[in-house]
Amino acid sequence: MAGSDRPTSRDVARVAGVSQATVSLVLGGKWRGRVSERTAEAVRGAAGELGYRPNAAARSLRLGRTRTALLVVPALTHEYFARVYAGAARVADAHGFGVVLYPSPEGVGPARDPFGSARAAIDGVIASSMAADALAGIAEGGLPLVMLDSGPGAAGGPPTVDLAVADGIRQVVRHLVGLGHRRITHLAADVDTWTFRVRAQTVREELAGVEGALPGIERCGLNVRAAHDAAVRALTGAGPRPTALLCDGDILAAGACKAARRLGLRVPQDLSVSGFDDLELATALDPELTTVRLPAEEVGAQGMATLLGRIDGVPVAPVELPVQLVPRGSTALAP
């Protein structure tokens, strides 16, 4: 490599004792059936020894690709979506792709094409927490699209990567019922997306089968202030006061705990509070929050892996990732 600061495919070919064409086949992943396993190992070993990485820009020009994916999320500042991005970026980087992060302008709902003509700038789209048709304009013309946390799609629609949301809510309800709670009010996010519709439906179905249950629901925006006000309404309204508030997110649970303190109620002695997400906030609260842990990075990683499969024309199946209840100090036996 005299006179060169970085190794080339010619250097790899020389060290491995093969042609440059063979190097291209092996490092491009198209060697099977054309090159022996032994030769492929020799090429990979030589590339590793020399620290050679293919020129992604040149390869993109040959393939007619930008090797860039667009990740559309409701909010850039939310910890959950930061973790989704981290998982997607990790898988993308391993395959020589980049990820452009783009927030939905209204936080939820349809997103505009951020490039004017996305098909000219990106190879595919991953859309999180939106209706399945949110990016119809971007995806026209066959641009690969993968939906995250949007529910099983219709046959022929974009592939999906979902969380086992209903199971997570069932775990919370059964945890509270097992502690003797019957007056359980759901602090439900006032957002019309699949994930929040499933949560509300699951709470109703689970409590419908519990003898003596007095379920309630208060809807609110996805912020601490709205959750605080909804919790005050739930705790001061007519009828028996709830002994537990089941919240659609940890941020809503923080608002609920704040409302309890304002009303002179102790958590968990007078009121149990549960969340959903297991953000860092969950362990910053006192007492620490009972919540449902979501594998956010795995959601992003699976979403990117699914998108790469679609880009390469590989059949992909819907994915549902398990979630886990994490009991902590904010829930206790019903008073």
157 with 173, same domain: the answer is no
* Residue 125 belongs to domain with CATH number: 3.40.50.2300
Residue 332 inside a domain? The answer is no
233 with 284, same domain: the answer is yes
Exposure class string for 90-106: b at 16+ Cβ within 10 A, else e: ebbeeeebebbebbbee
286 with 178, same domain: the answer is yes
207 with 227, same domain: the answer is yes
177 with 287, same domain: the answer is yes
Confidence of residue 207 (pLDDT cuts 50, 70, 90): very high
Residue 327 inside a domain? The answer is no
Residue 326 inside a domain? The answer is no
Residue 3 inside a domain? The answer is no
196 with 264, same domain: the answer is yes
How many whole angstroms separate alpha carbon 15 and alpha carbon 12? 5
Spell out the residues 6+ positions from residue 289 whose beta carbon is closer than 8 angstroms to its own.
Answer: 250, 253, 254, 257, 273, 274, 275, 281, 282, 283, 328, 330
* Residue 32 belongs to domain with CATH number: 1.10.260.40
Residue 156 inside a domain? The answer is yes
Among the ranges given (95-104, 232-241, 257-266), the one the predictor scored with the smallest mean pLDDT:
95-104
pTM, entire model: 0.76
Residue 331 inside a domain? The answer is no
Residue 41 inside a domain? The answer is yes
Number of domains in the chain: 3
CA distances for 287 relative to 123, 159, 231, 258, angstroms: 46, 40, 17, 12
149 with 236, same domain: the answer is no
Confidence of residue 2 (pLDDT cuts 50, 70, 90): very low
138 with 217, same domain: the answer is no
Among the ranges given (44-58, 226-240, 243-257, 258-272), the one the predictor scored with the smallest mean pLDDT:
44-58
230 with 265, same domain: the answer is yes
185 with 253, same domain: the answer is yes
205 with 252, same domain: the answer is yes
Q: What is the pLDDT of residue 114?
A: 52
Q: List the domain range (segments joined by +) for residue 28.
A: 9-54
